[in-house]
C-alpha cells in the first residue's frame, strides 16, 4: 500500500476541506487518477492507494481571484517525511509551464520579453519557498508562484493559439474546423439569427423521453421540425448522442428493464437507435451513437457491460448505414471517474478498445463539462487541455472538443482561451458548446456577448 503525506497550509476550513476531498494520487502515461483514501489530522494530510509506486498528486486548488484549478505535482516518491503540499503544487505548475513553453519555443512560438521575465521572476519566487519551506512566508511565496504560473500559462496558451491559427491560415487558407453547438429543441425565434451567425455547425440531440414517452411507438414531429430548421439555416448537421447514459436521458418505461433481462434492455436501446438512423440517414451523415459509456451511468451497468452495449449499438448502426460517419463520445476525458474502485478503463483505454474492435470512427469527442453535474470534470487550465489533446492523438483519429455545463451561460473567464486553443490544433476538427439549462435541456441559449464575440472573431478571421 502506498502513502504520501503533506503539511497542509493554513486555509479557511470549508475551502480547504472542499479541495482536499477531491485530492487524488495519479500515475501512468495518461496521469490517470487512482482510488485514494484521504486522512487529515490537524495540518497533516495523508493520501493512500493500493499500489506502492511513485506518482503525482492532483488537487483542485484555489488561486487568487477566486478561481479553482486542478493542480498537479511533479512525480513524488514515497518517503517517511511529509512534503509541503503548496510547495509541491507550485513546483508542478512552474515545471509544467516552463517545459510546455520550451516545447512551443522549439517549434517557433514567439515569446514576448515580458513573458520571459515573468517566468524567470516567478521561478525565483518559487525558489524562495523551496529554500525555506518551514519559514512563515513559504506558503505565501508558493501560492504566489502557483497563481502567477497558472496565469502565465493561460497567456502563453492564448498566444500560441493565435500564432498557430495565423500560421495555418497563412499556409493553407481558412481552416476547416467546425464551430458548433448542441441543440435538443428549436432555439427561440428571436435567437435564431444570432445562432446561425455565431456557429457553422450544429449537433441535434434527440430526447428519447419526448420521442417515445411510451413503448408503443415514436413521435418524431418535434425532432423533424428541428432537423428541417437546421438544414434550412445552412448549418453543417450531425445527430447525437442517440444513447446518452447520463441521468434523465431515458423514458420512464425503460427503468423496469434495468437489472432484469439484459437482452430486453439492449433490444430497447438498439431498436430506438435503428429507428432514428433509418428515419434521418438519407439526410444526416455524421452521428454520435453513444455518449458517457466510459463513465459510471444512470442505468447502473458495469464497465464491461457498457463496453459490450456500446459494441452492439455500433454494430446496429453499421448494419443500418455501412457508410455512416461515426463519432465516439468520451466523458470526463481526464479520467476523474477512476477514483471509484470499480472503474478501471481509463478514457483512452475505453476508446482504444472500441477502435481495436474494428469500428471505423470518424472522430473522438472529448466532453469537457463544468459545474456540479455527474459528468463534469475538475476545472483544468489551457495547458492541461493541450496535453489532453496530445494524449488522445495517440489514437490517430481526428478529435472534437465539447465545452459546456448546466447553466444558462457557462463561465466566460478562461473559456475563450480554451476554445481558441482547441480550434487552433490540427488534430481537432470541431469545437462545440453544450449550453443547457438546469434540467439539462439544450434549448439553443445564445452564449454571452463576451463569448459570442470570441466565437465570431474565430469564425471571421480563421475558419472556412
Query: Both 308 and 379 in a single domain?
Result: yes
Domain end point (choices 169, 189, 223):
169
Q: How many CA atoms lie within 13 A of 164 on its CB side?
A: 19
What is residue 298's predicted lDDT score, i.e. its pLDDT? 75
Predicted local confidence at residue 43, as pLDDT: 86
CA 78 to chain centre: 30
Does the pLDDT of residue 300 top 90, yes or no?
A: no
72, 26 in Cβ contact below 8 A? yes
Do 179 and 161 share a structural domain? no
C-alpha cell at 219: 413521435
> Of 115, 137, 169, which residue is a domain's last?
169
Q: Residue 231's domain is classified under what CATH number?
A: 3.20.20.80
Confidence of residue 414 (pLDDT cuts 50, 70, 90): confident
Same domain, 240 and 314: yes
- State which H helix or E strand residue 195 sits in: helix 192-198
If one compares 21 and 400, the residue with the highest pLDDT of the two is: 400
Model pLDDT, residue 132: 82
User: Residue 419 sits in which domain range?
Assistant: 174-461
Q: 320 and 232 in one domain?
A: yes
Mark whether 162 and 191 lie in a shared domain. no
Domain shared by 195 and 343, yes or no: yes
Both 122 and 230 in one domain: the answer is: no
Is the CB of residue 440 less than 8 Å from the CB of residue 404? Answer: no
Quickly state the pLDDT bin for 410 (edges 50, 70, 90). very low
On whether both 245 and 151 belong to a single domain, the answer is: no
**For residue 172, pLDDT beyond 80:** yes
Contacts of 215 (CB under 8 A, 6+ apart): 251, 253, 268
Task: Tell me the H-state helices in 219-302.
Answer: 221-232, 262-280
In the predicted model, is pLDDT for residue 80 greater than 60?
yes
Q: How confident is the model at residue 424 (pLDDT cuts 50, 70, 90)?
A: very high
User: Distance (Å, rounded) from C-alpha 19 to C-alpha 38?
Assistant: 11
Could you say which of 116, 146, 169 is where a domain stops? 169
Residues 64 and 160 in one domain: yes
Cβ neighbours around 101 below 10 Å, total: 22
Please indicate, yes or no, whether residues 149 and 179 belong to a single structural domain of this protein.
no
Q: Let me know whether 204 and 326 are in one domain.
A: yes
Exposed e or buried b per residue across 73-88, where buried means at least 16 C-beta atoms within 10 angstroms of its C-beta: beebeeeeeebbbbbb
What's the domain count of the chain? 2
Q: Measured between alpha carbons, how far is 157 from 374 in angstroms, rounded to an integer?
A: 28
Q: Quick one: which of 376, 391, 451, 440 has its CA closest to 60?
A: 376
Query: Are 400 and 332 in a shared domain?
Result: yes
Residue-level pLDDT at 446: 59
Q: How far is CA 188 from each of CA 11, 194, 221, rounded to the nearest angstrom?
A: 46, 11, 17
Q: Which residue has the higher pLDDT, 407 or 362?
A: 362
Phi then psi for residue 57, to 5 deg, are -120, 130
Dump pLDDT digits (tens) for 95-123. 999 999 999 999 999 999 999 999 999 99
Per-residue model confidence as pLDDT tens digits over 9-25: 876 666 778 888 889 99
Amino acid at each position: 500500500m502506498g502513502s504520501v503525506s503533506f503539511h497542509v497550509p493554513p486555509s479557511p476550513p470549508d475551502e480547504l476541506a472542499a479541495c482536499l476531498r477531491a485530492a487524488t494520487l495519479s500515475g501512468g502515461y495518461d496521469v490517470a487518477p487512482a482510488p485514494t483514501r484521504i486522512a487529515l489530522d490537524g495540518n497533516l494530510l495523508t493520501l493512500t492507494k493500493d499500489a506502492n509506486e511513485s506518482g503525482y498528486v492532483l488537487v483542485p486548488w484555489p488561486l487568487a481571484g477566486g478561481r479553482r484549478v486542478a493542480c498537479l505535482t511533479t512525480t513524488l516518491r514515497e518517503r517517511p517525511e511529509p512534503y509541503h503540499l503548496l510547495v509541491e503544487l507550485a513546483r508542478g505548475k512552474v515545471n509544467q509551464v516552463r517545459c510546455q513553453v520550451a516545447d512551443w519555443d522549439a517549434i517557433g512560438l514567439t515569446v514576448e520579453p515580458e513573458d520571459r521575465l515573468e517566468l524567470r521572476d516567478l521561478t525565483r519566487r518559487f525558489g524562495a519557498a523551496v529554500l525555506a519551506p518551514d519559514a512563515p512566508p513559504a506558503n505565501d511565496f508558493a501560492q504566489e508562484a502557483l497563481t502567477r504560473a497558472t496565469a502565465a500559462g493561460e497567456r502563453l496558451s492564448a498566444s500560441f493559439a493565435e500564432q498557430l491559427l495565423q500560421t495555418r491560415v497563412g499556409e493553407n487558407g481558412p481552416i476547416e474546423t467546425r464551430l458548433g453547438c448542441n441543440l435538443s429543441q428549436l432555439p427561440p425565434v428571436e435567437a435564431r439569427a444570432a445562432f446561425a451567425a455565431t456557429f457553422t455547425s450544429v449537433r441535434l440531440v434527440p430526447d428519447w423521453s419526448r420521442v417515445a414517452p411510451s413503448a408503443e411507438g415514436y413521435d418524431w414531429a418535434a425532432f423533424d421540425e428541428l432537423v428541417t430548421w437546421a438544414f434550412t439555416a445552412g448549418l453543417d448537421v450531425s445527430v447525437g448522442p442517440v444513447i446518452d447514459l447520463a441521468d434523465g436521458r431515458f423514458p420512464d418505461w425503460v427503468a423496469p428493464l434495468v437489472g432484469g433481462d439484459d437482452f430486453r434492455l439492449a433490444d430497447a436501446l438498439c431498436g430506438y437507435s435503428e429507428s432514428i438512423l433509418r428515419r434521418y440517414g438519407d439526410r444526416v451523415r455524421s452521428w454520435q451513437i453513444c455518449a458517457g459509456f466510459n463513465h459510471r451511468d444512470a442505468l447502473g451497468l458495469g464497465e464491461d457491460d457498457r463496453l459490450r452495449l456500446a459494441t452492439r449499438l455500433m454494430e446496429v448502426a453499421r448494419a443500418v448505414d455501412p457508410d455512416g460517419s461515426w463519432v465516439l463520445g468520451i466523458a470526463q476525458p481526464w479520467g476523474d471517474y477512476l477514483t471509484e474502485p470499480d472503474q478501471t478503463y481509463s478514457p483512452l483505454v475505453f476508446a482504444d478498445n472500441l477502435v481495436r474492435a474494428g469500428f471505423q470512427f470518424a472522430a473522438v469527442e472529448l466532453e469537457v463539462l463544468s459545474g456540479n453535474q455527474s459528468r463534469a470534470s475538475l476545472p483544468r487550465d489551457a495547458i492541461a487541455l493541450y496535453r489532453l489533446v496530445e494524449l488522445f492523438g495517440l489514437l490517430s483519429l481526428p478529435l472534437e472538443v465539447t465545452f459546456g455545463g448546466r447553466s444558462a451561460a457557462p463561465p466566460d473567464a478562461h473559456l475563450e482561451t480554451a476554445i481558441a486553443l482547441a480550434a487552433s490544433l490540427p488534430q481537432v476538427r470541431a469545437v462545440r458548446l453544450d449550453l443547457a439549462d438546469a434540467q439539462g435541456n439544450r434549448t439553443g441559449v445564445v452564449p454571452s456577448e463576451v463569448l459570442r464575440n470570441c466565437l465570431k472573431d474565430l469564425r471571421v478571421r480563421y475558419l472556412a
